[in-house]
């Protein structure tokens, strides 16, 4: 059983995140989306809301689980029995940052990080960009995936 942990702030979850998950699903038996608090970033969206949004998106996908965490990623990976960490790479900036973290995680716990390059259509999309647009009242529906409405009566 190959389990990948996809950790992030997901504040909010964007089309870029969704693309990485869709493309990683054929590689793993299960993907655990771990919504965490990045100590360097200020989360604006309440954690519970973020989790509910992501759960609603993957309601029909039994191979995806959504959890929250606030500890070290390798400790979480061990707890979830995930042999892999999944991350997306948008730019050289992401690459530099991710390379150091991946090396550390491998050294600490032997966990391998699997990287997927962002689709060029989404390489400019970030949660902070979405938050900024929302703060100024702009429509972000093209950047934030919305769950299919499964309850047509309400």
Radius of gyration for the chain, computed over Cα atoms and rounded to the nearest angstrom: 15
Q: CB nearer to ligand ADP: give 141 or 149.
A: 141
Residues 6+ apart with CB under 8 A from 102: 85, 87, 113, 115
8 counts as binding ligand ADP under rule CB under 6 A: yes
User: If you search the block for the tokens 């954690």, which residue do you land on?
Assistant: 47
Question: For residues 79 and 15, what is the distance between their CA atoms, to the nearest angstrom?
Answer: 28
Binding to ligand ADP by CB under 6 A, coded x per residue (else -) over 113-152, reads -----x---x--xxx-------------------------
10 counts as binding ligand ADP under rule CB under 6 A: yes
Q: CB nearer to ligand ADP: give 46 or 151.
A: 46
Among the residue ranges 5-13, 22-30, 52-60, 144-152, the one whose residues contact ligand ADP (CB under 6 A): 5-13
Q: CB nearer to ligand ADP: give 38 or 107.
A: 38
Q: CB nearer to ligand ADP: give 83 or 126.
A: 126
Within residues 65-124, the interface with ligand ADP by CB under 6 A covers 87-88, 90, 94, 118, 122
Can you give the binding site for ligand ADP, defined by CB under 6 A? 8-10, 14, 16-17, 20, 38, 41, 87-88, 90, 94, 118, 122, 125-127
């Amino acid at each position: 059983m190959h389990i990948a942990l996809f950790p992030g702030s997901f504040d909010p979850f964007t089309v870029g995140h969704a693309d990485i998950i869709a493309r990683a699903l054929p590689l793993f038996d299960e993907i655990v989306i771990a919504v965490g608090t990045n100590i360097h970033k200020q989360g604006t969206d309440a954690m519970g809301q973020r989790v509910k949004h992501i759960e609603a998106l993957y309601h029909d996908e039994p191979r995806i689980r959504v959890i929250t965490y606030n500890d070290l990623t390798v400790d979480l990976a061990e707890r979830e029995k995930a042999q892999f960490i999944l991350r997306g790479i948008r730019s050289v900036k992401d690459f530099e940052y991710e390379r150091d973290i991946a090396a550390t995680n491998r050294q600490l716990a032997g966990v391998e990080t699997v990287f997927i390059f962002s689709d060029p259509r989404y390489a400019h999309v970030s949660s902070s960009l979405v938050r900024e647009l929302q703060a100024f009242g702009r429509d972000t529906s093209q950047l934030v995936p919305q769950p299919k409405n499964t309850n047509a009566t309400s």
